[in-house]
Structure 1
Amino acid sequence: MRPAVASALLDAEARRRLLDLVDVELDVVLDDFTTPTARTALAAAEVLITGWGCPPIDEAALRAAPRLRAVVHTAGSVKPHITEACWRRGIEVTSAASANAVPVAEYTLAAILFANKRVLFARDEYRAAHGREDDWHARLAAAGNYRRRIGIIGASRVGRRVLELLSPFDLDVLLSDPHVDPAEAVRLGARLAPLPELFARCDVVSVHAPQVPSTEGMVSRALLAAMPDGATLINTARGALIDQQALQEELVSGRINAVLDVTTPEVLPASSPLYTLPNVLLTPHIAGSMGGELARMAAFALDELQRWTQGVPFLDPILPEAWDRTA
């Protein structure tokens, strides 16, 4: 991982626990596997603790690490650094994706409830009125969460956590996921629905599918056009899942709203209208673990490391057979 990531992720308590679990040189933080320091460290390593900025663990890296048996990732997706060579070697892999799913789902829940309450609209109108008396019940007659219909795309770790968080509310939840059958959807607190129905009928649609070849561009121009006037699209997954140009056109028209934590490109050009549109809440990829939430991911990863040292299977392994639908 990048040295700055290690400093932010591993506080004093995590470092003490790490030292109790394994023999580790805390000052050896690698973001390049080709240096002499890296080659020396890899030669003795049985497990790699990885994070944001880890280089690919490819054939060359594995040749330098003949004793390597496991990778414990302290963040979410392992796709940037786990390669086919790891699976051929039989490397065991786990990640803290489940821990990182918690704040993403919390962000999503807040976005859903605020969207239906029309908070952005109310803020702007109240600001423009400078506190003058007004009939807010009339102006917000379409607001509220009671019996609203919410669409969830993807029963991923985040999607399932969102479904769990939505369960106490008086909402009608639809789920679209090709790997879930109707009975499982009911157990998750939703009704299974195809994407066209979900987009056409929901007040809020939230995207939680992984980015794989079959999902890129899945939120098409036609699906966006089918959304009811005033509906809200939430994306905390990946920008590439949505037709960005079509979404921008819908948002510029003012017909729908959006809460976007990710876009394509990841950082929009300074000229993008999405920065200033009143119907868009745009955040810089912060739904995942930030600040104090990093400690949750570190704790989860260390729990997995402890299981590995005890010869116990990982609680949340990454399996090669699920690679094609893993984020």
Structure 2
Amino acid sequence: MTADVWLPIPADEIDGLPPAAESGLVYRYWDGGPDFPADPADCVFYTVPYLKGTEIAVRPLPAMISVRVVQTLTAGTDHVEPGLGTLPSGVRLCNAKGVHEASTAELTLALILASLRGIPRFVRGQDTEEWHAGFYPALADKTVLIIGYGSIGAAIEDRLAPFECARVLRIARSPRATARGPVRPFTEVPELLPEADVVVLATPLTETTKGLVDAAFLARMKDGALLVNVARGPVVDTGALLAELTSGRLTAALDVTDPEPLPPGHPLWRAPGVLISPHVGGSTSAYLPRARRLLAAQLTRFAAGEPLANVILTT
């Protein structure tokens, strides 16, 4: 039996990995292909292939009887959680905190600014040679509510700072004080929604947050408010959102949808007031260098028997 490490990036492309001869680790490359690189029973550290979906993510888990660590390269872990019940006790599930904050926050700001300032209308006008002059909303003086104030939520606020927002309101599972102001509990969402011009969803997908944005949630948003989802599609009830978009009362900017990918012919494609990007919050040039650094650091800790970073839960 060997101490195998499964990586979706070839080991020779990751600087700083513990040397195999000294650590006893054997690096195996697997990015979700039909054939496993070795016997899953020998894997002690499994890095989940990036953006390959739940079926591929969990496929080897039932046979991984020796695994000690499951490492995702995403901020969320919902795509691997269905397979965790097949694992032995004591396995640590780690996420990719530190990899996607900058890219996701960048896209969030891009979606907010594009939606408020009418960029989709301008692009369509350029295609048809129409000049859509007029007054458009600014981000300046707006109140922004961030729901899911973890590391990505904080990175979003970092990038909001220069835009002269009137207020930034913060919601998280664990209320706390920060240098910028209080982070409030989810129980305060209903009273804060009517105050927000822009509502940003950056929360993980859990049993608590699935369907969080339902008809009642949307009804409490102020007329003309913008909903931005960079979390997961099922956080939002698509039917309820379509009703508000069709009425023209709300607008939305969505990097994630339910269903996803959004199929041709789905009414969300042509709903008024919606801007859709194809789940590209973390898929940028910043991803690969940061993912490599994370893996090198985690495996160095693992080989040395040191505590791992980003542990979400232990089975």
TM over 0.5: yes
2-side partners of 1:107 and 1:29: how far apart? 26
Shift of residue 31, structure 1, vs aligned partner: 5.8
Which structure shows the bigger proportion of residues in strand conformation? 2
CA drift of 1:237 comes to: 1.0
Deviations 1:245-267, CA, capped at 9 Å, x for gaps? 11011112222211111111113
Q: In structure 1, what is the equivalent of residue 49 of structure 2?
A: 51
Residue of structure 1 equivalent to 2:71: 72
Letter in 1 for 2:69: A
Residue 187 (1) aligns with residue 179 (2): yes
Structure-2 change in CA distance of 1:179 and 1:79 (3 Å): same
- TM-score, normalised relative to structure 1: 0.77
Kindly indicate whether the alpha-carbon contact (under 8 Å) linking 2:149 and 2:183 is maintained by their aligned counterparts in 1: no
- Length, aligned pairs only: 296
- The structure-2 alpha-carbon separation of the partners of 1:204 and 1:30, relative to structure 1 and needing over 3 Å to count, comes to closer
Identity %: 28
User: 2:143 and 2:125 mapped to 1: Cα distance?
Assistant: 25
Q: TM-score, normalised by structure 2?
A: 0.79
Consecutive unaligned residues of structure 1, counting only runs of 5 or more, are none
The two structures, once aligned, show a CA RMSD in angstroms of 3.2
Pairing partner for 1:232 from 198, 217, 226: 226
- What's the offset of the Cα at 1:305? 1.2
The structural deviation recorded for 1:61 is 2.1
In the other structure, the counterpart of 1:93 is 93
Distance in structure 2 (CA, Å) of the matches to 1:152 and 1:70: 31
* Alignment match, 1:281: 275
Runs of 4+ displaced beyond 6 Å? none
Measure how far apart 1:127 and its partner are: 6.1
- Stretches of structure 2 that go unaligned for 5 or more consecutive residues are 1-6, 51-55
Q: Which has the higher helix share?
A: 1
Cα distance in 1 between the residues matched to 2:164 and 2:29: 51
The answer to whether residue 212 in structure 2 is matched with residue 208 in structure 1 is no
Contact 2:73 2:96 (C-alpha < 8 Å) held by counterparts: yes
Residue number among 132, 151, 158 corresponding to 1:157 in the alignment = 151
* 2:106 matched residue in structure 1: 106
Superposed displacement of residue 107, structure 1: 0.8
SS of aligned partner of 1:116: helix
Output aligned runs, 1:7-26, within 5 Å. Answer: 9-10=9-10, 13-14=13-14, 17-18=16-17, 20=19, 23-26=25-28
Helix, strand or coil: the match of 1:110?
helix
